[in-house]
Amino acid sequence: MNALDPVEVHPAWLPPAAFQALGSRRVLVRGEGLLVETVRAEVARACERHGGAVLSGYESPDLVLTLGGAHEEGFVLANQDGVTEVRAGGQPGMLYGLFHVVRLGEAAFAAGREPEVHRPATRRRMVDHWDNVDAHPVMGQVERGYSGGSLFWADGELRADRARMRSYGRLLAACGVNAIAVNNVNVHTTEAHLLTDRLGDVAAIANELRPYGIRVHLSVSFASPIVLGGLPTADPADEQVRAWWAETTRRVYETIADFGGYVVKADSEGQPGPFAYGRSHADGAKVLAEALAPHGGVVHWRAFVYNHRQDWRDRSTDRARAAYDHFSPLDGQFPENAILQVKHGPIDFQPREPVSPLLTAMPATRLAVEFQATQEYTGQQRHLCYLAPMWSEVLAFSPEVPAAELVAVANAGDDPFWTGHPLAQANLYAFGRLAWSPRMDPLAVLDEWIDLTFVPSSTSDPALLRRTLHAVMDGSWRTYERYTAPLGVGFMVRPGHHYGPDVDGYEYTPWGTYHFADRDGVGVDRTRASGTGFTGQYPPPWAQVYESREQCPDELLLFFHHVPYGHVLHDGSTVIQHIYDTHFAGAEQAAELRQRWESVAGLVAEDVYARVRDRLDEQVRSAAEWRDQINAYFFRKSGVPDAKGRRIP
């Protein structure tokens, strides 16, 4: 087996059949370098399978991949006199150009095709793995992982299966991802050592991913100078601390010359940080950024900082405010190679949240928006939930958002289908494509994914298959939203593992995630007039829109307002009736998805069919559980019967 041959697991969006158009052509690859060699190997493998030829320069080609353009990662695709040419700015551009040709299939070779210029919207398109080296007693091998074990680590060691890492890199490159953090942002003791005495493990991963243009990043503990360096402090103002980071980072680059940089979760959920020394997060980020700067590295500094020991009786403290309150005063104080990584919503990856106002408040700071591909709060890859429509809404919110880099918490593991639920692969693919091109239509992205993953020529009824996949996936996020927490209120999940309903599970806890339901009404008053003032963190017009009960979009009403059950929504129904209606409808839709899936039996591989069917069975069960618990809870609180007389337990 060639070192670049993919391993025998589900091929996801790169099955051999997807290479048919390319592989049946006469292809010339011009240039030298590691990534050019990757392109050559890809072309050679495709041609061997599909009857084409790799040319050495003298014969007339159908496709030429060559270097010579402006943008390192960009490329121009043109067809002249029947020859398709990909002219790439640099080696990564050639790799992305190759995968673009694969995506286009026969269309890449259509005569007279208008030239297209492609380049990524942002420099870095990153996935963060919350993978532990040692399986954590509560969180396991992968924190919030629903796809088996880690691709990188097992039982305290680097995995021996490096080919799988290589295949993963290949999948990531094919959707545009170029950076990966290989360990959990909650850095425990063993994982802290990846920075120093276990750096060799990180280097081994980097070796596997490098041929696909992917740089490796490492989550590090802010307390590393103490934990690893034996210093008495991690104070960023301390000279010894600065020297320790500089020297440690120098060694990292000595071992991994193209190392990407650090990811830091500081002063958050028990992780150490600069607050212990009376320093700001800009001070904290600076010491790491300074150490990385001479080597071209960056630090991703997470803005997920809030008080997780809040008194639930105190209604004035609002977790939604925390990131903005901590970070907006620091705008302009972060060094150039520090990237503030902000979760897309102000709380924590709920199925519906407003866009974090912090993203509009840091004009002098480099930003990254963090999405969660792993479905912690969106059904844990047991429920079908295509997330790209949600991400696209976030990206369309304001001009600052698509200008930021994108990071996703990864959803892949050592599961044979990579993502547990085979259709959850689409979330990883879509993340990469949106990171490359934030304004892409999420349904067009889904079409790309469908054509690649379920190559039309490999199935007897591609039109039915496409129709069914769209029918089950397009609206799956909204279906999930319907049968879970209503109108943006969030967090009605079981504490700890976060799967399934538990309306009051977090209501009297220190986590700052409350819904305040009582006999009269529900929702969090975040207005300036009478609540926590969170609405004031938004620029106009959003500050006014969210402040006003009348103007606030229905889907976010309970995020911003505490309203009586009889409050009338824009669609004319009351809040309580909306709760009943959406929960009945959502659970019914889940059952319909399950039915609909049966129509593709025989059109997709049996193992994919069966795995999706089993997951849908669980989704139907769980959606009914959600429906009944939510409806029963609100019926008992409010005493208001369902206007349609349906049975509420």
In the bound complex, what is the minimum distance in angstroms from residue 498's beta carbon to ligand GCV?
Answer: 7
Cβ-proximal residues to 199 (8 Å cutoff; 6+ apart), any chain:
251, 252, 255, 256
Least Å distance between CB 381 and ligand GCV? 15
What stretch of H or E contains 87? strand 83-88
Cα angle for residues 358, 532, 552 (degrees, 5° grid):
75
| Shortest CB 127 distance to ligand GCV, Å | 14
Residues 181-200 touching ligand GCV, rule: CB under 6 A, are 185-186
Task: Give the burial string for 480-494 (b: 16+ CB within 10 Å, else e).
Answer: bbbbbbbbbbbbbbe
Q: How far is the CB of 51 from ligand GCV (least distance, A)?
A: 48
Helix 442-453 vs helix 91-104: crossing angle, to nearest 10: 80
Identity (one letter) of the amino acid at 628? D
> β-strand 75-80 against 83-88: which pairing, if any?
antiparallel
Cβ closest to ligand GCV, residue 267 vs residue 448: 267
CB of residue 339 vs ligand GCV: minimum separation in angstroms? 16
**Alpha-carbon distances, residue 115 vs 62, 87, 106, 110, 243 (angstroms):** 16, 11, 16, 12, 51
Closest approach, Cβ 184 to ligand GCV, in A, equals 6
Given phi > 0 = left and psi -120 to 50 = alpha, else beta, which region is 230?
Answer: left
For residue 592, indicate whether it is catalytic. no
Which CB atom, from 431 or from 584, has the smaller least distance to ligand GCV? 431
Catalytic residue among 376, 415, 481, 547: 376
- For ligand GCV, the binding residue among 45, 87, 129, 144 (CB under 6 A) is 144
Token digits for 130? 């919350």
The Cα–Cα gap between 195 and 214 comes to: 19
376 or 547: whose CB is closer to ligand GCV? 376
Between 343 and 567, whose beta carbon lies closer to ligand GCV?
A: 343
- Site for ligand GCV, residues 36 to 65, rule: CB under 6 A: none
Strand-pairing partners, residue 53, are 26
In the bound state with ligand GCV, the residue whose beta carbon lies nearer, of 32 and 269, is: 269
Q: Give the nearer residue to ligand GCV in terms of CB position, either 166 or 383.
A: 383
Instruction: Please enumerate in sequence order all residues whose Cβ is within 8 A of that of 428, keeping only pairs 6 or more positions apart, or say none.
Output: 127, 171, 175, 373, 408, 410, 411, 412, 418, 419
Nearer to ligand GCV, 235 or 370 (CB): 370
Q: Which is nearer to ligand GCV, 348 or 448 (CB)?
A: 348
Q: How far apart are CA 491 and CA 484, in angstroms?
A: 9
Nearest to 522 by CA among 636, 625, 637, 639: 637
Which alpha helices (DSSP H) does 548-574 contain, by range?
557-560
> Cβ of residue 621: shortest distance to ligand GCV, in angstroms?
24
Phi, psi of 117 (to 5 degrees): -105, 130
Of residues 344, 497, 455, 483, the one with CA closest to residue 406: 344
Q: Which of 19, 130, 306, 491 binds ligand GCV (CB under 6 A)?
A: 130
Burial class of residue 114 in the structure, from the number of CB atoms within 10 Å of its CB (0-12 exposed, 13-18 middle, 19+ buried): exposed
How many residues sit in the footprint of ligand GCV (CB under 6 A)?
10
Residues 548-607 that bind ligand GCV (CB under 6 A): none
What residues pair up with 379 in beta bridges, in sequence order? none
In the complex, what is the shortest distance from the CB of residue 138 to ligand GCV, in angstroms, rounded to a whole number? 10
Residue (86 or 342) nearer to ligand GCV, CB? 342
- What is the closest distance, in whole angstroms, from the C-beta atom of residue 266 to ligand GCV in the complex? 11
d(CA 165, CA 162) in angstroms, rounded, equals 5
State the nearest-atom distance from the C-beta of 142 to ligand GCV, in Å: 10
Residue 131 or 525 with smaller CB distance to ligand GCV: 131
Residues in region 261-320 near ligand GCV by CB under 6 A:
265, 269, 304
- Judged by DSSP in three states, 288 sits in helix
Q: Phi/psi class of residue 132: alpha, beta or left (left: φ > 0; alpha: ψ in -120 to 50)?
A: beta
Q: Annotated catalytic residue: which of 73, 348, 405, 547?
A: 348
Asked if 144 and 128 count as a contact pair (C-beta separation under 8 A), the reply is no
> 48, 247, 269, 441: which one is catalytic?
269
Closer Cβ to ligand GCV, 322 or 590, answer by number: 322
Q: Which tokens go with 176?
A: 């545009």
The question of whether 208 is a catalytic residue gets the answer: no
Whichever of 153 and 597 has its CB closer to ligand GCV, that residue is 153
Does 143 sit near ligand GCV (CB under 6 A)? yes
Instruction: Assess whether 348 carries a catalytic annotation.
Output: yes
Q: How far is the CB of 512 from ligand GCV (least distance, A)?
A: 11
Residue listed under structure tokens 């479905």: 375
Site string for ligand GCV, 336-375 (x = CB under 6 A): ------------x---------------------------
Helix/strand/coil for 262: strand
Q: What is the DSSP string of 110-155?
A: -TTPPPEEE--SSS-EEEE--EEEEEETTTEEETT--SSS-SSEET
Residue linked to tokens 């870095």: 124
Closest approach, Cβ 325 to ligand GCV, in A, equals: 18
Which of 458, 402, 486 lies closest to 16, judged by CA? Answer: 458
Task: List residues with catalytic annotation.
Answer: 269, 348, 376
Contact footprint for ligand GCV (CB under 6 A): 130, 143-144, 185-186, 265, 269, 304, 348, 376
